[in-house]
Structure 1
């Protein structure tokens, strides 16, 4: 059985996306996890987001932010300020991998916040 039991859609304002990505990296998600460019006006990148499968422990940590679940400590190398930025600015939705449609989940999250994907590469 896999440890990745949740489908998670997420987004953050552009100014906080790097800090949120550092948190994801500290929890083992390498690289740029916020690769989807989002806009509130259809022209300017105002947010970045993405979607992934994740563990129950990671979802519990996000849901507890800015605290950690009982018995947890800040992961090594993770700055408290980045964790606080994530607690304050990361928006996410999660559901069971088996029953959550990736596109529907992500589209519902961005629509709920008045955002749309920017597909024009000249607008980044």
Structure 2
């Protein structure tokens, strides 16, 4: 059985997304996690970036506790305080059961609730 029992949809303003991504990587993720470009109009310039992932309960608990760590969870060695503060200040996310959640729908509902749309390369909606 997998430990990845949660589905998280997330976004952050462009100026804080790199810091949020570094924090996610310090928590065990790898590579770029904020790859969906977003704006209020669905056209460039993008103002936010986001994504979706299957995650563990622990990851969700840790992110929910930002800028602190949940009781009993040690500070990750590679986690920079400023990056973790960006998570607390700028990251918007929702989390639900991975088994029962449609990732695309979860992400679309999240961004719509915040007045954002996916940036379309050709400018179409």
Normalised TM-score (structure 1): 0.94
Partner of 2:119: 118
Q: In the aligned structure 2, how far is the partner of 1:72 from the partner of 1:30? A: 20
**2:11 is equivalent to residue 11 of structure 1:** yes
Gaps of 5+ in 2: none
Root mean square deviation of aligned Cα: 1.3
User: Where does structure 1 differ by over 4 angstroms across 4 or more consecutive aligned residues?
Assistant: none
Distance of 1:87 and 1:73 partners within structure 2: 17
Shift of 1:41: 3.0
- The answer to whether the aligner puts 1:77 opposite 2:75 as a matched pair is no
SS at the partner of 2:82? helix
Equivalent residues, number:
122
Consecutive unaligned residues in structure 1, runs of 5 or more: none
Distance 2:3 2:59 in 1: 10
Q: Deviations over 1:92-123 (max 9, x none)?
A: 0110011111111000000011000012179x
1:74·1:80 contact (CA, 8 Å) conserved in 2?
A: no
CA pair 3-51 structure 1, distance change in 2 beyond 3 A: same
Q: TM-score scaled by structure 2?
A: 0.93
